[in-house]
Amino acid sequence: MANIQWAKVYTGPAIEFATEIEQLADSTYIVNGTYNAGNNCKSWLIALNTSGDSLWSQLFQLDQVLRMWIISIVWL
């Protein structure tokens, strides 16, 4: 079992939930999640520092999600 480094809640005006989190070589974290506001479902990507503070976040339309997955496969 892993040790908890920090616990925080990241929220917006709709229903959000994280689907995966990865720690990168520079110790920052990338969180991939879903943002759902009615019929407007988007992918939500958040970068966090080692304390769990948000560095940036970006919503992606459905047509951008495939490109995001391709970038993440190449990036890893």
- Residue 15 pLDDT > 80, yes or no? no
Segment 6-32 mean pLDDT: 82
Q: Quickly state the pLDDT bin for 75 (edges 50, 70, 90).
A: very low
DSSP reduced 3-state for 1: coil
- Yes or no: say if 13 and 35 are a contact pair by the CB < 8 Å rule: no
Share of the chain above pLDDT 90, in %: 18
Which residue has 């110790």 as its token pair?
27
Give how many domains the chain has, as a whole number: 1
Tell which wins on pLDDT, 17 or 56. 56
CA distance 17 to 10: 9
**Domain range spanning residue 33?**
15-75
Contact 15, 36 (CB under 8 A): yes
Q: Enter the tokens of residue 45.
A: 């990507």
**Taking the model in full, what pTM does it have?**
0.69
- 71 has pLDDT over 70: no
- C-alpha to C-alpha distance for 51 and 68, rounded to whole angstroms: 25
